[in-house]
């Protein structure tokens, strides 16, 4: 995801954005859960942002993300749920956040 893609998140629809880094061990725990949610919720657009590259850092800065893993649930252009750290790696937390959008 690039900083110019942020406009798509703010134009409407339901989006889940995962912020991660290759060096982050909890982020690796989140990966299979994120993939599962992608297949279970085709009505939601899923995005992955690698904060270790310049574009990813710009997107993270735009949303105030300071640690990984962080998952944002965005509905109709507004962030309505933020999951950070171990909470982001819990399948139940992510499922509940998606269902609340």
Domain ranges in the chain are 3-99
Q: In what order do the strands lie in the sheet with 14-20?
A: 45-50, 14-20, 70-75, 78-84
89 has pLDDT over 80: yes
pLDDT in tens, 2-37: 777 888 888 889 999 999 999 999 999 999 999 999
Backbone angles phi, psi at 69, to 5 degrees: -75, 145
Can you give the pTM of this predicted structure?
Answer: 0.93
Q: Is 69 helix (H, G, I), strand (E, B) or coil?
A: coil
pLDDT, averaged across the chain = 94
Q: According to the model, what pLDDT value does residue 36 have?
A: 96
Give pLDDT tens digits for 45-83. Answer: 999 999 999 999 999 999 999 999 999 999 999 999 999
**pLDDT score of 41 more than 90:** yes
**Topology annotation, domain 3-99:** Glutaredoxin (3.40.30)
């Amino acid at each position: 995801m690039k900083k110019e893609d942020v406009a798509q998140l703010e134009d409407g629809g339901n989006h889940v954005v995962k912020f991660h880094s290759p060096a982050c061990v909890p982020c690796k725990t989140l990966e299979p859960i994120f993939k599962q949610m992608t297949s279970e919720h085709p009505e939601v657009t899923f995005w992955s942002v690698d904060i270790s590259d310049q574009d990813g850092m710009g997107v993270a800065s735009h949303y105030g993300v300071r640690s990984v893993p962080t998952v944002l649930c965005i509905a109709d252009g507004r962030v309505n749920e933020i999951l950070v750290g171990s909470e982001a790696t819990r399948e139940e937390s992510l499922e509940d956040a998606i269902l609340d959008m």
